[in-house]
A = this chain, B = another copy of it.
C-alpha cells in the first residue's frame, strides 16, 4: 500500500487532525503543508503562528488549553514589556519567544523559512515533514467594515469582530511553493491528500493561492479528502461560520464542500450533518469530527485515511500531469 500522506493545514483545528494522522501513520510518512498567510512582523520578530502551532502540536509541546503557544509557559516577558509601555495586544510566552527570535535571526542570516522550519521541527523531535506553503511572504488581508486589516490585527487585535467583505492574499501571485511541496503532491507513493478542518477562507485558500498548488492537487494520483470545519453550522473555534455569513454564504458543511468542488474527491462531515447534500462527484463520509481527546484525533485520522482508500477519483485533472 502507498504510504505517504499530505495534509494542508491552518492552525489549531488543522493541527489536531495532523497530530491524529501523525500518530496513526509511520512517523516519517506525513507531510504538513502549512498556511503562512497569517505570518507577520511584531516587535521586529518574524512570527509564523500556524507553523508554530503545527510544530508545537506535533512535538507535544503545545498548550492543551489555549490551543496556541507552549505548555508550561511563563510570562515574564509580557509583564516586563507592559512596564516599558510596549504593545500588549499580541501575547508572546517566554519560551515561545525563543522560536520567534531564533527564526528571525536565521531569516536575517539568509536562511529560508522552509529550511529554518525543517531544522527547528527536527530539533524538537518532529519526524513529520512540516513545510510552509511558500518561502515568499504571502499576507492575508481582510476588507472589513473597519477597513482593510492585516490578518493578526483582525484575528487577535480585534477578536474577529469586524464584518469581512473581501479577502486577498498579498504576494501570492508572485510566490512559489516552498521546496518539497509540489514534489510531495507528485510523489507516486502518495496515499492521500487531506484538507484539514481549517477555515477555508483564511487557512486553506491562501495555500491554494500559491501558483502551482491547485494544478498539483488536480494532477496528483492520490485521492483528496477534506474534513468539514463546521459541525451543525458552527465552527469548533474561530470565525469560519461568522465569516461565511458575512461573505453571503450559508454557514454549513455543504457550503464548505461546494467551495471545494472540483478540488476534492471526498468530504468528511460530522454525524450531525449526515444529511448534508454535497455537490455531485464528492463522496460523503460521515464520522464524529469533534476532536476533544487525543483518541478523537487518532480516530478521525484513521477514518480519513480509510475513507480516502474508498474514494473514487472524481475531480477533473489538468491533463498535464500524471
Chain A positions within 8 Å of B, measured between CB atoms, are 43-45, 70, 73-74, 76-81, 83-86, 93-99, 101-102, 104-105, 108, 119-120, 123-124
Contacts and interface: CB of A to CB of B under 8 A. Distances in A.
18 contacts: A44-B44, A44-B104, A44-B108, A45-B101, A76-B76, A76-B94, A77-B101, A78-B98, A79-B98, A80-B98, A81-B101, A84-B124, A85-B123, A86-B98, A86-B102, A86-B105, A94-B97, A97-B97
Given A76-B98, A77-B98, A80-B98, 12 more contacts: A44-B105, A73-B76, A74-B94, A76-B76, A77-B101, A78-B98, A80-B94, A84-B98, A85-B102, A85-B120, A86-B98, A86-B105
Number of copies: 2
B79 A95 contact: yes
The 4 closest A-B pairs by CB, nearest first: A80-B98, A76-B94, A94-B94, A80-B95
Given A96-B80, A120-B84, A123-B85, A105 B43 contact: yes
A70 B77 CA distance: 11
Contacts of A102: 43, 81, 84-86
B74 A70 contact: no
